[in-house]
Structure 1
Amino acid sequence: MARKRSLNLTEAELRLMDVIWDRGPCTVSDVADALKELGLAYNTVLTTMRILEDKGFLQHVKPVEGRAFVYEPLVGRDEAGRNAVRYLVSRFFRNSPELLVLNVLNDEDLTARELGRIRKLLAEDAK
């Protein structure tokens, strides 16, 4: 039986997905090469990509030419981000998006420019 699709990505899974979202369909070697500064073994990348496939984030196809499977995303970066925010809201903010937004607005690291942009978006949404 297939593993239930998880809406959350681990840090390691997110690093691999970032490569695929940025580059498009990739082989395991493509992803390993893109992350070579991390010193990840080919088998580690392969295992993580198989986990991502089991979770429903990736699918692999066999190209007409060549032997290596090509992995392509089934979930886009925006959808994965929305799922992560939903999880965050449910886990830490009692299912209240308002509490999340208030927490962000009270963050001392928020710049005046960021705050202005948020205000503008809220004003546009209120129209």
Structure 2
Amino acid sequence: MDIKDLTRVESQLMQVLWKLEKAFVKEIIGELPDPKPAYSTVSTIIRILESKGVIGYEAFGKTHRYFPLISKEEYMRYEADKFLGSYFSNSVQDMFSFFVQEKKIDMKDAEHLLKM
């Protein structure tokens, strides 16, 4: 499957769908932080996600129940690969070095990760 980039808002809705597994628009809105977006706004973003091929739906009369077509892990892998390629020329060593230098990870944690 060809995964498409998601905007911050699209990603936020996907987080809700991954959590709920299947949901109607009202249920999705209920999981979003305040202030809640308008129903029409969420519906529009849902249609965009559908056009990107990352969600599907089941029809229930005039309403739809939406569900993810890609797993959270698949999307995380896509984003991680993109991040590694864009910023570190696909070098895990360069990425680790950067995070150690920036004190985002200490050597003990880095060694533990390398043993995994």
Pair in the same fold by TM > 0.5: yes
Corresponding pairs, count:
115
1:94 to 84, 89, 93: 89
The answer as to whether partners of 1:5 and 1:54 remain within 8 angstroms in 2 is: no
Matched residue SS, 1:39? coil
2:76 to 73, 81, 87: 81
Q: Distance in 2 between matches of 1:76 and 1:118?
A: 27
Which AA in structure 2 matches 1:9?
L
Structure 1 gaps of 5+ residues are none
Aligned residues: CA RMSD: 2.1
Correspondence for 2:102: 107
Alignment TM-score, normalising by the size of structure 1: 0.77
- Cα deviation, residue 107, structure 1: 2.5
Q: Distance in 2 between matches of 1:9 and 1:38?
A: 22
1:66-98: CA deviation from partner (whole Å, max 9, x where unpaired)? 642111111111111111111112222223233
The answer as to whether partners of 2:54 and 2:68 remain within 8 angstroms in 1 is: yes
Q: Distance in 2 between matches of 1:16 and 1:61?
A: 17
| Distance verdict in 2 for CA 1:82–1:44, change over 3 Å | same
1:73-126: CA deviation from partner (whole Å, max 9, x where unpaired)? 11111111111111112222223233222222322243x5xx5344223124xx
1:37 to 34, 37, 40: 34
- Cα deviation, residue 5, structure 1: 4.6
Structure 2 gaps of 5+ residues are none
The answer as to whether partners of 1:28 and 1:42 remain within 8 angstroms in 2 is: yes
Percent of pairs identical after alignment? 27
Correspondence for 1:57: 54
Alignment TM-score, normalising by the size of structure 2: 0.83
Structure 1 ranges of 4+ moved more than 6 A = none
Q: Distance in 2 between matches of 1:119 and 1:103?
A: 15
| Distance verdict in 2 for CA 1:77–1:5, change over 3 Å | closer
